[in-house]
A and B are shown apart, each in its own frame.
Chain A
Amino acid sequence: MGQSMGSFGARNVDLYMNDNPTFDPQTGFSFERKPREMKAREEDLISARIPPQFRDYCAHYLLDYQVCRYKNMPMLYKCAHEKHDYLNCEHQDYVLRMKEFERERRLRLREQRIVGAA
């Protein structure tokens, strides 16, 4: 995916870091994509005082981790598994974002090809 040059390879289609995807999420798929599911409830996140920037699709793991910390306060090593689960989820979230970026780049290139051919 061109990590070493960052988003440099997407300059030619005017795509940069943290850009929003512009195409319909279902185009180009032979199947219907599974929607992401938010497992944590907003009220619980507010009650646990999780800051808004952490209320993403992994928030239920973060909630578990914080509850574990609260219960085992001085012995935080006991929450290693919860932390690992949370960080794994964030990693998968990041991979998904990279996939969305690459999909957006390829779709833009395809659009350019089609417009150029027509």
Chain B
Amino acid sequence: MQSGISSAATQLVSEEVGVEVSHVTKGFGPEGAKLVVLNDVSFSIKRGEFVSVIGPSGCGKSTLLRLVAGLTEADHGTVTVHGEAIRTATRHKSVGLVPQSPALLPWRTVHDNVSLPIRVNSKANVDRRLRDPRQILSSFGLGHAVDKYPFQLSGGMQQRVAIARAFVFDPMVLLMDEPFSALDEMNRDQQRMGLLEFWQSNRKSVMFVTHSVPEAIILSDRIVVMAAHPGRIAEIIDVDLPRPRDENVYATDAFRDLEGYVRNSLKSVMAPGQAA
């Protein structure tokens, strides 16, 4: 499982590094009584690769995502995107963020919410393949909602708008923080498939934080399993399912084998007292 990378899965993944997290340590609190949230974390995401991060609560996966988004700084270690330090990368608008809640602006139309990344920091729009918000919305099945306001949309549609907002300015890296966790299961699966389909024809480096094992498997090329106290990487699992994938993958033996493997890996990282 560790080495079985199928050729289909890597066709569109370049060997060049997209995101490089190198020996990152991060703690909170005063010196001396510091709570270590991330301890010497290193991993990389190749260009065009989809990597999920999964682990128990308190393993620091959200902190890791905030570090890669440039929203917080590491105590030690470095984060680079396409070779640039994360500060420089965000200045060049290289990173798109899909937060846990859609976080749309309620006073803006769907169109104007999606075009927000184009409106701000417009210096970084030079030499960039900006997408037409209308076109990206219609490919997300939201063509009819372009001129609506967020409160007129369902939760699933709002989350799709948030994803469209992250794709619209063509960033090199997409960061998603449990984007479907607020949706009900039926809706979640539908949104997952929508993202999978869109991403398969618009390959970007993705770091996807999730709580769901099936979600991590169906979407990812690799799964980073994290352990808690202190947050660290326990194992990195290759997902050697062929692409393009669709919901039929759930029913395959390969999927079930992987699911069992990932669940075991997660079980082994839960401290005895924490296992649910």
A and B pair up = no
Write the residues of chain A forming the contact surface with B, with a CB cutoff of 8 angstroms.
none
Write the residues of chain B forming the contact surface with A, with a CB cutoff of 8 angstroms.
none
